A and B are shown apart, each in its own frame.
Chain A
Amino acid sequence: MFEMNKNQRVSRTRVKICGMTRPQDAVLAAKLGADAIGLVFYEKSPRAVTVEQAQAITQALPAFVTVVGLFVNAEPTLVHNILAQVPLDMLQFHGEEPPDYCLCFDKPYIKALRMRPNVDVQAFAKHYEHAKALLLDSYVKGIKGGTGVVFNWQKIPSHLGKSLIVAGGLTPDNVNQAITTLHPYAVDVSGGVESAKGIKNADKMTAFMREVSMSIAQLFTITDSHNLPDENGHFGPYGGIFVPETLMQPLEELRQAYEHYRNDSAFLAEFHDDLHHFVGRPSPLYHAARWSQQLGGAQIYLKREDLNHTGAHKINNTVGQALLAKRMGKTRVIAETGAGQHGVATATVAARFGMECVVYMGAKDIKRQAINVYRMRLLGAEVRAVNSGSKTLKDALNEAMRDWVTHVDNTFYIIGTVAGPHPYPAMVRDFQAVIGRETRQQIKTQTGRSPDILIACVGGGSNAIGLFSPFLDDKNVAMYGVEAAGEGLETGRHAAPLNCGKPGVLHGNRTYLMTDENGQILETHSISAGLDYPGVGPEHACLKDVGRVEYVAVTDSEALDAFHDLTRIEGIIPALESSHAVAYCKKIAEGRKDKIIVINLSGRGDKDIHTVATHEGISI
C-alpha cells in the first residue's frame, strides 16, 4: 500500500460543511473555501432535504466541491433512488450499516463512528477497510448526527491508518484547537455555523473558515511575533555569541540550519507529529478547583507539562534539536544536565533516533538525582560526572562545551535551556513556545477568555519563555518569573541572578549572572537542582530590563510547602522547580477573585521525593 512519508505529509486541513438546506448557503460555503458540503437524507433530521432541495443546491454549486449524501440505516432502494436523481460524489453512513452494505452502491463512502464510551476505533477502522475516511462524531443517546456536543479528543488513537474527519460540536471557537490537537484530515461542521437548524450563518461560516486557515498557519509556524533576537542573536544588550573561535563556524552552521528548517513545512510537520505521538501533546490545562477554593481567590489553572513523556517540558526541545541534528547529519549528541530532566529527555531522543549520547552532570547533582542518572543509563546514554568547580550544572555546561569543541565534526550539542550562544536561546524558545500556544487556546476554550497572570519558575528559563513567549504582545497578561531564593536572598545562598546579580558573560551569552566583584562566577544554592544555575537566558534579562516580566524569588522552604500543598490538595506531585511557581501563586492568589492564573507545572516531582524525604529527615 502507498504510504506517505513525513516529507509528503499533507499540510492543509479540509473542511466539510454539513446539513445544507439552501443553495445560497452552499454557494457561500464554496466561496469561503469549503472542500465539501453535506446533504442529509434522513427524514428525522431537522436538516433533512428533499430531492428537489438537493437538486437546487447541487445545481448552484461551482466546480470542485464534493457533494456528500448522508444516510442513516436507509433502505438500499432509497439510496439508489437518491443517487439516480441527485449528483452525489460520495456517501456518508451514520447508522449501523455493515461494510458490505456501504460498498454496494459503487460510490466512495465515509463511515461515521459515534464515540461512545469504550469504543474501539482501531477495530472499527479495520472493519471498514474500504471507507475513504472515518468521521468521528459525538455520542449522545438517542440522537444520530448533529449532536452539537464535543467528544473527548484524547480518545482518538494515534496512527489510525485511515483519514480522520473530526465532527461533533465544532465551532469557530474550538476548531483551531481541534486541528492543532488532532491534525485531522478534515473537519466537519454543521450546527456550529448555523443561526437556526439548517440555516447557515454567513458570519459564522466566515469565522470558521478563517480559524481553520489560521490554525493551519499556526501548526506550521514556530516563530512568534516577538521580534527578538536581532540577526546577531542580541536581545537588547544581552545574548550574542561569546565562544572560543573553534565554535564560531559550527554555530554558524547551526544557525543556518535552524533558519532553514524553522520555515520548512516538512520539518515542522515532523516536529509537531512527534510532539503529538511521542511526547503526548497537547498537555492538559487543568483547573485546580480545590486548591483555588482553598486559597480563596483567583481561579488557578495548571499547564500540565509534567504529563509529557519523561515527565517535564524538556522533551519539547530535545525532540526539536534531535530532528535538527538528524538533518544536519550528526551522529552523536551531547548534553548538560542539572536535575537530570534535560539529560533524560536527551537520552530519550538519542535512543529513539539511534544516536550516541553523552550527558555531562555535576558530581553533586549525580548524588541528588540518582534515579535520573540510572534512567539515562538505561536509555543507553553515557553519564559523565563533572568534578570541576562547584560540581553542578554550570560545570556540566563547561564540560559539554569542551566536548563540543573537541568533537565538532560529528557532534550536536543539545542545550537544555534558553541560554548559550546564539541561536540556542531563540531556538529553544521556539521549540518550547508550544506550551504557551496551547495554553492560549485551552484557556480560551475552558474559560472563554485570556488569563490575567502567568507564573513559571526560572532557572535557565526555558519553561518560562515557552509559556510567556506567545503572550508577550498581550499587554493585559501579567507575567511572573520565579527564581530560587534558596535559603533567602539576604543570605547569598540562592540562585537568583535576575533578582540579585548583574550583567556579565558566561556560557556563550551576555546576561544577568551571579558573579563576585572579581568577575568570578559564584556558587549557587537551591533545593531544586534544575534551578541551581548562576545565569539565566538572555531574553529574560531583556524582559526584566524592559519591565515586561516581573522576576521574583521564593525560598527552599516556601517551595517545599507548596510541593506538599499541591500534592495533598490536588493529587499532583510537582517537581521542586515547578513548586517555586506554585509557591509564588500562593502569595498572590488571595483577594483576586475575578482573576485567572496559569502556572506552568513544568515537571513532575517523582524525581524529587528522595530530596524532600531527606530534607525532612525521613529515610526511604
Chain B
Amino acid sequence: MSRLQTCFDNLRTQKRTALIPFITAGDPTPALTVPLMHALVDAGADVIELGIPFSDPMADGPVIQRASERALAAGTGLRDVLDMVKTFREQNQTTPVVLMGYLNPIEIMGYKTFVKTAKSVEVDGVLTVDLPPEELADFGELLRSHAIAPIFLLAPTTTPERIKLICDQTSGYLYYVSLKGVTGSANLDVTAVADKLAEIRQYTDLPIGVGFGIKDAESAASVAKISDAVIVGSALVRLVETEPQQKLLEAIPGLVRELRQAMDA
C-alpha cells in the first residue's frame, strides 16, 4: 500500500483530518528545507507539500511568488528539490511527500528522468498546477507505473463532467481549491465549500483536501469539519518574511501546531 493511502486510512480510523503544510523548497535557503520538513512532522503535519520553485508561478499570490523568487535566488532547482526529499527520507520513511509546482521545470528535465528520480528518492505524489488531465499524455501513466500519485486540483468552476475526469486520473487525494483566486487569497466561504465537496463526493471515495485561503486556526478548524485534509501554504510561508531566519524552525512549526490543535479540538 502506498504511503499516502496508509496515511489517509490511519487518519480515517482515528477520525482525524489530515493537516498538509506547504513550503517552497529552498525558501529562504536550501539548507533550511529538510530540517523544516522534520519539524513540520513533529508539529503534526500528516503530509508535506513541497513547492518546486518556478520563475512564473501564475496561480500563486504574492506570498508564494516571493518564496519562489527567494528560493531561485538561493539557487534551488528541481534536482535540488529531489535531493532534499532524498535527505528527508534518510530519517523519515512514513510521512508522504508531494511535490507541487509548474510543468516547465519537469518538462525541461524530461518526464522519464523526473519520474525515475522522484521514484528513487521516494516522492509520493506530484501536483502540477498548470497541467490539467487533458494534457497529461504519457506523464500520468509514467507516474502511476512508478507508484507516484498524480494529484489534481478541483475548483469552484469545475463542471460535473470534469469532476469525473479528474477523479479518474487522480490517486492519493484530491486538492479542492476553495475559492476563485490565487494562493493566499481572502476569506473562504465554508458553506459553499461544503456544498461543492458534497457534489465531488458523489463521484469519488478519494480523500479531499481543501486549500487556498486557510490562514489561521479558526479557518483550519472549520474546514477540518467538512474535509479530509486541510492544506495551508501562504500563512506559513508568510512567516519567512516576518520572522528572523534563525527563528523559522520554531515559528513555522509553531503555527502548524496551533492549527493542529484547533482542528483536533
Contacts and interface: CB of A to CB of B under 8 A. Distances in A.
Interface of A: 232, 240-250, 252, 388-389, 394-395, 397-398, 401-402, 405-409, 502-508, 510, 513, 515, 517-521
B77 to A, nearest CB: 4
The 10 closest A-B pairs by CB, nearest first: A519-B105, A519-B108, A518-B77, A245-B153, A246-B155, A244-B59, A249-B157, A406-B181, A245-B155, A401-B58
Contacts of B66: 388
A389 B56 contact: yes
Contact of B132 (A241, A397, A409, A519): A241
A504 B107 contact: yes
B157 A519 contact: no
Given A245-B166, A246-B157, A406-B185, 9 more contacts: A242-B130, A242-B135, A252-B159, A389-B55, A397-B58, A405-B59, A405-B181, A515-B104, A517-B77
A116 to B, nearest CB: 59
B103 interface: yes
Given A388-B65, A406-B185, A513 B104 contact: yes
B62 interface: yes
B162 to A, nearest CB: 6
B78 interface: yes
Nearest to B154: A245
Contacts of A252: 159
Contact of B69 (A389, A406, A505): A389
B87 interface: no
Interface in B116-164: 129-132, 134-135, 152-159, 162
B165 to A, nearest CB: 10
B61 interface: yes
Contacts of A502: 108
A447 B153 CA distance: 57
Contacts of A510: 107
A503 B109 CA distance: 12
B130 to A, nearest CB: 5
Nearest to A400: B58
Given A504-B107, A518-B77, A408 B180 contact: yes
A406 B103 CA distance: 21
B162 A248 contact: yes
A521 B69 CA distance: 12
Contacts of B181: 246, 405-406
Given A242-B135, A398-B57, A518-B79, A249 B104 contact: no
Given A513-B104, A518-B77, A518-B79, A244 B56 contact: no
Contacts of A240: 134-135
B50 interface: no
Q: Which of A395, A406, A503, A507 has the most CB of B within 10 A?
A: A406
Contacts of A243: 130, 132
A521 B157 contact: no
A395 B62 CA distance: 12
A78 B130 CA distance: 79
Contact of B59 (A388, A389, A402): A402
B106 interface: yes
Q: Which of B59, B69, B134, B185 has the most CB of A within 10 A?
A: B59
Interface in B61-111: 61-62, 65-66, 69, 72, 77-79, 102-109
Contacts of B217: none
Contact of B58 (A241, A249, A402, A408): A402
A231 to B, nearest CB: 11
Contacts of A398: 56-58
11 contacts: A244-B177, A405-B182, A406-B185, A505-B104, A508-B130, A515-B104, A518-B105, A519-B109, A520-B54, A520-B104, A521-B104
B134 A519 contact: no
A242 B103 CA distance: 9
A502 to B, nearest CB: 7
B104 A406 contact: no
Contacts of B109: 519
Contacts of B182: 402, 405-406
B171 to A, nearest CB: 17
Given A245-B152, A508-B130, A519 B107 contact: yes
B185 A521 contact: no
B197 to A, nearest CB: 15
A394 B56 contact: yes
A232 B134 contact: yes
A508 B55 CA distance: 15
Nearest to B175: A245
Contacts of A515: 104, 108
A242 B107 CA distance: 12
B106 A519 contact: yes
B95 to A, nearest CB: 26
Contact of B158 (A245, A503, A506, A518): A245
